[in-house]
Structure 1
């Protein structure tokens, strides 16, 4: 990743309005609901394959677009992690009545929000599947200047620096990577282009401060989590290593918990080479719970 200094849009650029909504809702018929959560600066598209597959199995699927994802970067960078979590809570409130079982799954930061939901509504959430959970940016594609970021996070400089996304963009699949590269490599920092489809080509350093606060809050709550927990991560995850999954596994108090390692994917496992394997593992995990073969 390249680090970009950007003081903000010029005076002729109108500041974007806060954005929420525009998620995905698919009605099911098996009495189970699945809340799917995309990653930070991502989009519901990155978990679309999983959502459609679960819906075909009868699950009601809701994929909220996290607060201000899809809005201009100057709006997104000022969003608090609590606002992202509220988007998830709103999705839960939408499906909590009328479904006997409620499951939640999230990708990257979405996995952390999923665990928070399981903690808050521990008597109602039946299982959590964490996909490429990201507590620490320690993958093999972590930028060399990463150790300097804490200095920027605690100063006003955090509002003016952005990561420019570089290959492999979290995907090992060559065709997907080429599509992302065609967009990301030519996108300007003010370009709203295809962010609703591919996510943001730039990552505000200010959001790392929010992620750090979210991680601190979650880590203090992990020992309160007792629902079944599944963790799926690629051994070659370019963003966050498998140490992230192990960290969570070692701290949750769930009697039923597992780590599934992938061997042909990078970070965005729901859209990469082994997305069918990921979907099958999640379906199997959820099915065992609502069929009564896995109990806490």
Structure 2
């Protein structure tokens, strides 16, 4: 059985957020985050990307970036500000996109994956890069297994059942092809060479027990990126799929808070140092900050 893949879009204010899901997956991974951001007033768009999302013919990572750029440009034509948020390999794609479109307001990196080096990755994972150049290229698919990026055991059991029925679930695909993994490695290599040139406001949220991408991924970008407004949030009760796991509320609130603060700082600069922000927005920023502190 194959679940349909659809873009998630919700109209909000003049600050749009482009949400990029993980490799060979779907916008379902970002459904909760998109809803909370929209509740906070943002326009949200989690698109299906040709050649990258589940259900579309696989393409090279250059096509992934082109598809993401088209989505960004479409939002930029309609809205005053556009920020980019990515999950897992989608976070690497977000970095590549913000390098191409430096006028983006901000970038949020959730469970950034530049290398599959978490504690649950099998020892033979490095061999898959070699297998790509063998006859296995068109036949072998890497199968996802427990814990499916989830520390929450009840949700993990639900996802295990979904993986048996469908090609993918709300936390990702059941299998990933060798060509897709190879293109993800190529994308990661490009991003690592570009990250120091990125100046956009940047939020990094990563679980310290991420079983797929170790905290070294986040540390690398935090120490290399050229952002002057940089915030890093570490989670201690989640695994890789932080937009669905135990701390998804913290992820959503921290993302909303960061994006509003980035917007407010930008408006302050535009106004020659005088803040251009309503009392209602300032009050909401304080409420969001209090919510985040109360849940940490």
Q: TM-score, normalised by structure 2?
A: 0.84
Could you say which structure has the higher helix fraction?
Answer: 2
Task: Identify if the C-alpha distance between structure 1 residues 147 and 119 changes in structure 2 by more than 3 Å, giving closer, same or farther.
Answer: closer
Query: For residues 162 and 116 of structure 1, what CA distance do their matches in structure 2 show?
Result: 26
The number of aligned residues is 266
Instruction: Check conservation: 1:21, 1:67, Cα contact below 8 A.
Output: no
SS of the equivalent of 1:291 reads helix
**Higher normalized contact order (CA 8 Å, seq sep 6+, divided by chain length):** 1
Query: For residues 65 and 135 of structure 2, what CA distance do their matches in structure 1 show?
Result: 24
Q: Does 1:241 align with 2:224?
A: no
* Aligned mate of 1:106, from 83, 86, 108: 86
**Segments of 4+ in structure 1 off by > 6 A?**
293-296
Name the counterpart of 2:195: 222
SS of the equivalent of 2:49 reads coil
* Aligned mate of 2:128, from 118, 128, 149: 149
* Aligned mate of 2:149, from 149, 161, 170: 170
Q: CA RMSD in A?
A: 2.2
- Structure 1, unmatched stretches of 5+, are 1-15, 188-192
* Aligned mate of 1:291, from 238, 256, 264: 264
* Aligned mate of 1:51, from 34, 40, 43: 34
SS of the equivalent of 1:134 reads coil
- Structure 2, unmatched stretches of 5+, are 271-296
Query: For residues 34 and 132 of structure 1, what CA distance do their matches in structure 2 show?
Result: 17
Instruction: Check conservation: 1:33, 1:59, Cα contact below 8 A.
Output: yes
Q: Does 1:138 align with 2:117?
A: yes
Name the counterpart of 1:65: 48
Name the counterpart of 1:161: 140
Please report how far the alpha carbon of residue 157 of structure 1 lies from its aligned counterpart in structure 2 after TM superposition: 2.3
Q: Does 1:35 align with 2:18?
A: yes
